[in-house]
């Protein structure tokens, strides 16, 4: 999708104008002062605009000069107006401090705005305007539709809070059986091998009793698969160890491990989505039982979730993952989770105003697969990109936009 770039990067756009001097050329670069800020000139007077970002919050610092020499900031009065996309105007007034002018107003993210600077020195007033954009691009409505870009208005949402689980598939106790000889003796014949499928009542082996020397049949108590084989023909059995073990692979459940920090939030009857590690099989079920784990030191519990026959390609012993819904509630502001994108060190969505798209740095709360709670950084009712956000991000990154002042 062809995306038409706006002047991107904070400080990368715009022309500057000053009363009494005329307009300087709009350029991708600009003159910098001793503190690496934007240097604004009006005759022999100049003002360096910087954003100090080494403290807890970004703040403006203005350094005045006369004939390129530092000027006492107490001789200068200054204001700045930032017109943001929307539009919204942030206004700053300054007071002298050390060798610069500062304002208590925080320069909130994104640092993307049209800037108007006014300064008065000795009764003479200087004015400058310039563009300082970052994380911004312009695309036509036709190009957005072609790229699959969709938008929504930010508002309230109901978040179903889920807890991730890990575990494995096991045969249920009802699907397990041990096969024992009724009387001790020698195994005369064995009709099955490890892995053989058997049906209930099928003759599995014949044993010669050591007392009566009579031969009797040993049959399968349940239908299933031979999972353990402990004896072979000619060996003596009946000493307490089972001859065979049978497991019914149609009677399965998932065993999920609950650690102390999560155990109090999980209850019998809560719904769980069970997924194979490959994602090929999944089923929605409920927790049937919660039992203490064998390891007392770990203080873990085990949640049992029945896996209906035919619900997937489940195999005993294989790992599974799950998500249990532990609660739900309405939050005043949320965005679709799939709309979230990385930008610098932030998680953002892209706000849409007309054909212009721009980052909004978010302070986030609870998150589900569908919704993410927004605690700050986005105004309710803002139109934001849901689908196709990665295309806008790629277009902004392609422009080489940087966070610069």
- Is pLDDT of 22 > 50? no
User: Cα angle vertex 61, ends 56, 63, to 5°?
Assistant: 155
Distance of alpha carbon 3 from alpha carbon 136, whole angstroms: 11
Residue 308: other Cβ atoms inside 10 A: 11
Specify the pLDDT at position 3: 34
pLDDT, tens digit, 9 for 90 and up, residues 82-94: 999 987 999 999 9
CATH of domain 17-137: 2.60.40.3340
Residue 20: other Cβ atoms inside 10 A: 11
Specify the pLDDT at position 86: 83
7: confidence class by pLDDT, cuts 50, 70, 90: very low
C-alpha closest to that of 113 among 137, 84, 87: 84
Range 114-140 burial, b when 16+ CB lie within 10 A, else e: bbbbbbebeeeebbbbbbbbbbbbbbe
pLDDT, tens digit, 9 for 90 and up, residues 214-234: 999 999 999 999 999 999 999
Specify the pLDDT at position 366: 86
Query: To the nearest whole percent, how much of the chain has pLDDT over 70?
Result: 91
pLDDT, tens digit, 9 for 90 and up, residues 229-271: 999 999 999 888 999 999 999 999 999 999 888 888 899 999 8
User: 152-171+251-384, what's its fold?
Assistant: Elongation Factor Tu (Ef-tu); domain 3 (2.40.30)
Specify the pLDDT at position 268: 92
Specify the pLDDT at position 133: 92
Query: For residue 181, what are its two tokens?
Result: 């000889």
Distance of alpha carbon 90 from alpha carbon 112, whole angstroms: 12
Specify the pLDDT at position 168: 95
pLDDT, tens digit, 9 for 90 and up, residues 345-359: 899 999 999 999 999
Specify the pLDDT at position 400: 57
pLDDT, tens digit, 9 for 90 and up, residues 267-323: 999 989 999 998 788 899 999 999 887 667 777 899 999 998 887 789 999 999 999
Query: For residue 274, what are its two tokens?
Result: 């069970």
Query: To the nearest whole percent, how much of the chain has pLDDT over 90?
Result: 70
Bridge partners (DSSP) of residue 254 are 169, 305
Can you tell me the mean pLDDT for 169-192? 96
Q: How far is CA 78 from CA 48, 62, 128, 209, in A?
A: 12, 9, 11, 107
Q: Is 237 exposed, middle or buried (0-12, 13-18, 19+ CB in 10 A)?
A: buried
Specify the pLDDT at position 387: 95
- Is pLDDT of 1 > 50? no
Specify the pLDDT at position 295: 66
pTM over 0.75: no
CATH 2.60.40.3340 residue window(s) in the chain: 17-137
Distance of alpha carbon 61 from alpha carbon 49, whole angstroms: 6
Can you tell me the mean pLDDT for 173-198? 96
pLDDT, tens digit, 9 for 90 and up, residues 124-175: 999 999 999 999 999 899 999 999 999 999 999 988 778 889 999 999 999 9
C-alpha closest to that of 278 among 245, 308, 311, 314: 314
Specify the pLDDT at position 2: 33
Specify the pLDDT at position 15: 43
Distance of alpha carbon 260 from alpha carbon 298, whole angstroms: 9
- Is pLDDT of 108 > 90? yes
Four-CA torsion 253, 258, 263, 266, nearest 10 degrees:
-30
- Is pLDDT of 120 > 90? yes
Distance of alpha carbon 112 from alpha carbon 348, whole angstroms: 14
Contacts for 87 with CB less than 8 Å, ≥ 6 apart: none
18: confidence class by pLDDT, cuts 50, 70, 90: very low
What is the chain's mean pLDDT, rounded?
A: 88
Specify the pLDDT at position 66: 97
Yes or no: domain 173-245 corresponds to CATH 3.10.20.90: no
Specify the pLDDT at position 399: 67
Specify the pLDDT at position 13: 36
C-alpha closest to that of 195 among 244, 243, 241, 237: 244
CATH 2.40.50.100 residue window(s) in the chain: 173-245
Specify the pLDDT at position 11: 35
Can you tell me the mean pLDDT for 11-29? 41
């Amino acid at each position: 999708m062809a995306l038409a770039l706006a002047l991107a990067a904070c400080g990368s756009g715009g022309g500057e104008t000053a009363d009494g001097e005329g307009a300087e050329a709009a350029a991708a670069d600009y003159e910098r002062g001793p503190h690496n800020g934007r240097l604004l000139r009006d005759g022999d007077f100049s003002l360096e605009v910087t954003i100090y970002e080494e403290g807890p919050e970004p703040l403006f610092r203005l350094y005045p000069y006369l004939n390129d020499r530092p000027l006492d900031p107490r001789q200068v009065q200054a204001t700045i107006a930032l017109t943001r996309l929307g539009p919204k105007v942030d206004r700053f007034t300054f007071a002298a401090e050390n060798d610069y002018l500062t304002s208590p107003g925080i320069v909130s993210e994104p640092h993307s705005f049209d800037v108007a600077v006014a300064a008065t020195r000795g009764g003479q007033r200087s004015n400058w305007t310039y563009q300082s954009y970052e994380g911004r691009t312009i695309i036509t409505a036709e190009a957005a539709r072609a790229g699959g870009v969709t938008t929504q208005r930010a508002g309230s949402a109901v978040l179903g809070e889920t807890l991730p689980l890990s575990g494995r598939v096991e045969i249920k106790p009802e699907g397990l059986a041990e096969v024992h000889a009724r009387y001790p003796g020698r195994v005369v014949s064995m009709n099955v091998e490890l892995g053989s499928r058997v049906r209930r009542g099928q003759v599995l082996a014949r044993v010669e009793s050591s007392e009566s020397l009579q031969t009797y049949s040993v049959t399968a108590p349940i239908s299933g698969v031979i999972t353990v084989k402990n004896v072979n023909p000619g060996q003596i059995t009946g000493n307490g160890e089972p001859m065979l073990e049978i497991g019914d692979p149609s009677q399965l459940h998932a065993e999920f491990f609950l650690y102390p920090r999560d155990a109090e939030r999980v209850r019998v009857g809560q719904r769980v989505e069970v997924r194979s590690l490959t994602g090929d099989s999944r089923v929605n079920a409920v927790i049937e039982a919660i039992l203490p784990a064998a390891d007392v030191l770990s203080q873990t519990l085990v949640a049992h979730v029945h896996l209906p026959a035919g619900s997937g390609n489940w195999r005993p012993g294989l790992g599974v993952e799950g998500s249990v819904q532990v609660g739900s509630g309405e939050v005043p502001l949320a965005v679709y989770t799939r709309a979230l994108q990385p930008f610098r060190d932030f998680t953002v969505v892209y706000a849409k105003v007309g054909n212009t798209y721009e980052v909004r740095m978010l302070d986030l709360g609870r998150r589900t697969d569908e919704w993410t709670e927004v605690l700050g950084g986005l105004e309710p009712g803002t139109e934001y990109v849901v689908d196709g956000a990665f295309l806008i991000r790629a277009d902004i990154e392609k422009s080489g936009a940087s966070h610069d002042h």
